[in-house]
């Protein structure tokens, strides 16, 4: 060791370095004016060091971390055979550290791997020397089996340190990032002078935009001490890299310590056991609820050591995340994901949130959903009727909350008029909601347990298929508060628990409506069967809970639906990505019907997903009075027309040509295109539509029936506005959304779309062997009336 108590070895400081700009070769500790850094190259970065002393309370705050320590465990750095390094894995980690460093953050790495690297090197040398000696003494080419003696760890570390550092240097050089090696021992932290020297050296390295690569000096370190450390903030012995990383993070006032291991994070029980559950956020008071398993295949720590070190660092003001650094699916972005605040691994926090976590919400919903489904039909009907009553009894409270939301939205000036209309609630809207809820209540009488099919499989062996709830629903809706009571009522009627996430624009209205829904549910003790989710981050977390959430229903823009479809992990998504609805005006169309239907389809509510976006005109209608009336009507309604390619070709001066025939305008705009026949209209819709709702206007029944049968959309109408594609207008009471999928529900999804099925078989000691060639029974497979329950 040097007189300063540590060895600091700069890598590649001879000659000029692309980042460091060095012109001379420096002594390990000669941090003098010869080392100049072009600070102007990153003076634009906005990251500022925060006042150290308290850790971040929430994951979302991690994106503000300026100084970060990344600890790489032995299982992360080494190969599975423990001889040599996992080069691909290490390269992806280096890339992420370099990216964060180039963002203006101060990155430090605490690494294992010297022992494994040295073990590989020494094994090779021993095998080579033994082979040569055998060849010299045996006098023939037949060599005996060569055995490798047990290698002492400190010798391996001594042989591997230089190679490990050279590897880091080569990898970081690819990103024009300079590195320096720092070897420490326990004495360097317990001796005040040495600790100050270490701190000063690391501070200077960070100031010069250099990434320190830190490791215990395993070539001279004594054997691990007994568990006598971690007794307080000022006492922690350096007996493994977990404790080293924690001590270093606190000493350097780091904002964040990321500990990468070979497990996803901290579990309440040993990973792999039946009851093991990954803990998203760990609080100091939760220590007694953890059962630790065995240590990893390499290294001298273990999860218990990591947790102790993490809590010690947390107490010292450094936030900590323990995550998996070996999973090939996430290794390439695990560090950057953590810094972005994504839910990766286990986050250690001193502040416990007031409300439940999303996992706890989902578990509670799952439990109460089963209770809700077991209620009698009359009890579920009572809950929905009570909610309908509350909408009228408490309308002043609802409207007052909605007024606050509307004033804030108007003041912000962000929402277009159509969205403001959707956000607004009126006494008439509340009355309509109450009527729709009562319709749903009546349908709840015959939802769960309804027999769909009954079959006599054999004598005294009867099979039934019955309706059952799906389970737990996650419904996301944008600035449309009337969705909340509708979706709640449909979920209650179908026996499903539901987690709701409304748009922030309707926060006050949603809060009141949710309180009313829970008040109605309290009538039969299932208050938490309907819960609100607070943030977008919560939604992202729920999208990964495929063991708790059974169906996701996004209601809103096509972008919202696509975002949810990308975020979900194994959970079905029921919805439509776009609402590109067509109205085709046939050659045999009635003038009056055309004008009424086109106006209503486009102008009644332009922002709705069932509004017309493309108007298809039969070519024979061009240059006729009907065509002129259509154009005049659209202009009077201030609808902006975009010409399709073919329509534009007929005109000398045409409207602006549409950018795409697959456009969902959502405003008073539409595309107008020309076709030669009904068949061409069908082909056009199949190519450019979204399988939502499409309309034909014609007096020719044969043409209409061909359109209705050939077109593959969720809703296909003849001489009726596209705006009829709605659960309430279909008599479903309400809808949770409109689905364009071809599996499960399609079109407006009401009560029936929220039900699944299960099979019930009632027998009397039957076995499959009874029906074999040597058996005594035969299959009957006789379909029975669904109302009949005869077991004989």
pLDDT average, residue stretch 208-217: 92
Q: How confident is the model at residue 502 (pLDDT cuts 50, 70, 90)?
A: very high
pLDDT average, residue stretch 491-512: 95
Query: Higher-confidence residue: 475 or 737?
Result: 475
Query: Higher-confidence residue: 647 or 352?
Result: 647
* pLDDT at position 30 over 60: no
pLDDT at 610: 94
Quick check: 506 and 485 in contact, CB under 8 A? no
Lowest-confidence range among 99-103, 137-141, 589-593? 137-141
Of 608, 415, 425, 443, nearest in space to 513 by CA? 425
268's CB contacts (< 8 A; 6+ apart) are 275, 276, 277, 279, 289, 290, 291
Strands 715-718 and 693-697 come out as parallel
pLDDT at 172: 95
- Give the span between the Cα atoms of 677 and 688, in whole angstroms: 16
pLDDT average, residue stretch 275-299: 70
pLDDT at 37: 30
Residue 314's H or E segment, with its range, is: helix 303-315
Q: Per DSSP, which regions of 193-246 are E strands?
A: 210-216
pLDDT at 383: 97
pLDDT at 559: 80
- Would you call 4 helix, strand, or coil by DSSP? coil
Model confidence over 513-549: pLDDT tens digits?
999 999 999 999 999 999 999 887 788 888 888 999 9
- Give the span between the Cα atoms of 59 and 202, in whole angstroms: 27
pLDDT at 187: 79
Tokens of 396: 């002043």
pLDDT at 134: 60
pLDDT average, residue stretch 215-244: 58
CA torsion, ordered 281, 282, 284, 286, to nearest 10 deg: 120
Q: How confident is the model at residue 295 (pLDDT cuts 50, 70, 90)?
A: low
Lowest-confidence range among 120-124, 189-193, 249-253, 450-454? 120-124
Q: How confident is the model at residue 422 (pLDDT cuts 50, 70, 90)?
A: confident
Most confident of 50-59, 267-276, 373-382, 539-548: 373-382
Handedness of CA 404, 609, 604, 669 (dihedral sign): positive
pLDDT average, residue stretch 371-378: 95
Q: How confident is the model at residue 140 (pLDDT cuts 50, 70, 90)?
A: low
pTM score of the predicted model:
0.75
pLDDT average, residue stretch 187-211: 91
**Percent of the chain whose predicted confidence (pLDDT) is above 70:** 85
pLDDT average, residue stretch 399-414: 94
Residues counted in the chain: 792
DSSP 246: H
Model confidence over 650-693: pLDDT tens digits?
887 767 889 899 999 988 999 999 999 999 999 999 999 999 99
- Give the span between the Cα atoms of 349 and 310, in whole angstroms: 10
DSSP 754: G
* pLDDT at position 84 over 90: no
The packing angle between helices 483-493 and 507-521, to 10°, is 30
Average pLDDT of the chain, as a whole number? 84
**DSSP secondary structure letters along 72-128:** E-HHHHB-TTSSSB-HHHHHHHHHHHHHHHHTT-EEEEEE--HHHHHHHHHHHHHHH
690's CB contacts (< 8 A; 6+ apart) are 576, 577, 578, 579, 580, 581, 662, 664, 740
pLDDT at 569: 80
- Give the span between the Cα atoms of 726 and 724, in whole angstroms: 6
Residue with tokens 């009546």: 442
Q: How confident is the model at residue 42 (pLDDT cuts 50, 70, 90)?
A: very low
Q: How many helices (H) and strands (E) does the chain have?
A: 23, 25
Q: How confident is the model at residue 575 (pLDDT cuts 50, 70, 90)?
A: confident
Q: In what order do the strands lie in the sheet with 256-261?
A: 7-10, 178-184, 210-216, 106-111, 67-72, 256-261, 319-324, 346-348, 281-282
Q: How confident is the model at residue 598 (pLDDT cuts 50, 70, 90)?
A: very high
- Give the span between the Cα atoms of 493 and 763, in whole angstroms: 31
Query: Higher-confidence residue: 706 or 301?
Result: 706
- Give the span between the Cα atoms of 709 and 679, in whole angstroms: 11
pLDDT at 52: 54
pLDDT at 24: 33
**Percent of the chain whose predicted confidence (pLDDT) is above 90:** 56
* pLDDT at position 19 over 70: no
pLDDT at 147: 61
Quick check: 647 and 672 in contact, CB under 8 A? yes
pLDDT at 474: 95
Lowest-confidence range among 85-94, 467-476, 492-501, 779-788? 779-788
- Give the span between the Cα atoms of 548 and 534, in whole angstroms: 18
pLDDT average, residue stretch 585-605: 96
Query: Distances in Å between the alpha carbon of 500 and those of 114, 553, 655?
Result: 51, 10, 43
pLDDT at 560: 83
* pLDDT at position 15 over 50: no
Q: How confident is the model at residue 6 (pLDDT cuts 50, 70, 90)?
A: very low
């Amino acid at each position: 060791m040097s007189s300063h108590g540590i060895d600091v070895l700069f890598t590649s400081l001879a000659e000029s370095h692309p980042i460091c700009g060095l012109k001379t070769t420096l002594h390990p500790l000669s941090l003098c004016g010869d080392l100049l850094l072009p600070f102007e190259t990153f003076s634009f970065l906005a990251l500022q060091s925060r006042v150290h002393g308290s850790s971040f309370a929430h994951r979302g705050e991690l994106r503000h971390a300026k100084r970060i320590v990344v600890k790489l465990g032995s299982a992360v750095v080494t190969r599975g055979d423990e001889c040599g390094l996992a080069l691909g894995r290490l390269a992806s980690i280096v890339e992420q550290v370099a990216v964060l460093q180039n963002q203006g953050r101060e990155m430090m790495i605490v690494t294992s791997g010297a022992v494994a690297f040295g073990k590989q090197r020494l094994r090779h040398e021993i095998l080579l020397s033994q082979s040569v000696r055998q060849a010299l003494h045996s006098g023939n080419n037949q060599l005996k089996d060569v055995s490798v003696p047990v290698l002492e760890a400190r010798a391996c570390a001594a042989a591997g340190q230089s190679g490990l550092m050279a590897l880091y240097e080569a990898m970081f050089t690819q990103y024009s990032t300079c590195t320096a090696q720092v070897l420490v021992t326990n004495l360097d932290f317990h001796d005040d002078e040495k600790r100050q020297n270490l701190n000063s050296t690391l501070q200077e390295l960070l100031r010069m935009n250099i990434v320190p690569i830190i490791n215990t000096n395993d070539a001279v370190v004594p054997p691990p001490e007994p568990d006598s450390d971690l007794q307080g903030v000022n006492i922690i012995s350096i007996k493994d890299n977990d404790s080293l990383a924690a001590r270093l993070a606190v000493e350097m006032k780091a904002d964040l310590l990321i500990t990468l291991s070979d497990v996803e994070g901290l579990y309440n029980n040993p990973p792999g056991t039946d009851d093991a559950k990954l803990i998203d956020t760990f609080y100091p008071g939760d220590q007694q609820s953890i059962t630790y398993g065995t240590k990893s295949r390499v290294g001298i720590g273990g999860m218990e050591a990591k947790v102790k070190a993490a809590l010690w660092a947390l107490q010292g003001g450094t936030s900590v995340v323990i995550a998996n650094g070996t999973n090939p699916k996430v290794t390439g972005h695990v560090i950057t994901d953590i810094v972005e605040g994504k839910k990766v691994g286990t986050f250690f926090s001193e502040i416990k949130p007031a409300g439940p976590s999303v996992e706890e919400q989902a578990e509670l919903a799952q439990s109460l959903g089963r209770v809700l489904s077991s209620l009698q039909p009359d009890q579920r009907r009572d809950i929905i009727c009570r909610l309908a009553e509350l909408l009228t009894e408490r309308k002043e409270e609802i409207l007052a909350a909605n007024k606050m939301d509307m004033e804030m939205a108007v003041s912000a000036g962000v929402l277009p008029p159509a969205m403001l209309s959707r956000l607004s609630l009126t006494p008439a809207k509340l009355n309509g909601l109450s009527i729709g809820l009562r319709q749903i209540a009546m349908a709840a009488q015959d939802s769960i347990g309804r027999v769909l099919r009954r079959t006599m499989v054999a004598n005294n062996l009867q099979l039934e298929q019955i309706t059952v709830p799906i389970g737990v629903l996650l419904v996301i809706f944008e600035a449309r508060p009337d969705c909340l009571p509708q979706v709640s009522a449909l979920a209650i009627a179908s026996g499903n628990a539901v987690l709701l996430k409304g748009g922030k624009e309707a926060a006050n209205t949603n809060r009141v409506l949710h309180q009313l829904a829970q008040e109605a549910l309290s009538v039969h003790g299932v208050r938490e069967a309907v819960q609100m989710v607070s943030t977008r981050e919560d939604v992202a977390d729920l999208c990964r809970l495929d063991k708790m959430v059974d169906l996701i229903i996004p209601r809103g823009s096509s972008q919202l639906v696509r975002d949810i479809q990308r975020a979900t992990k194994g959970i079905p998504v029921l919805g439509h990505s776009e609402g590109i609805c067509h109205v085709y005006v046939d050659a045999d169309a009635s003038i009056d019907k055309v004008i009424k239907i086109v106006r209503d389809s486009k102008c009644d509510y332009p922002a709705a997903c069932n509004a017309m976006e493309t108007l298809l005109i039969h070519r024979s209608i061009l240059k006729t009075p009907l065509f002129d009336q259509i154009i005049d009507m659209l202009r009077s309604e201030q609808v902006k027309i975009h010409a399709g390619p073919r329509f534009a070709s007929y005109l000398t001066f045409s409207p602006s040509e549409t950018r795409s025939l697959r456009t969902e305008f959502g405003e008073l705009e539409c595309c107008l295109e020309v076709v030669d026949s009904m068949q061409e209209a069908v082909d056009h819709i199949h190519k450019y539509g979204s399988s939502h709702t499409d309309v034909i206007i014609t007096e020719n029944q044969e043409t209409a029936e061909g359109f209705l049968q050939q077109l593959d959309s969720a809703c296909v109408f003849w001489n009726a506005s596209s705006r009829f594609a709605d659960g309430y207008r279909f008599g479903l009471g309400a809808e949770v959304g409109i689905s364009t999928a071809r599996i499960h529900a399609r079109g407006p999804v009401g009560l029936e779309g929220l039900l699944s099925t299960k099979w019930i078989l009632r027998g009397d000691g039957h076995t499959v062997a009874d029906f074999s060639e040597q058996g005594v029974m035969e299959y009957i497979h006789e379909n029975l009336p669904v109302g009949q329950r005869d077991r004989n």
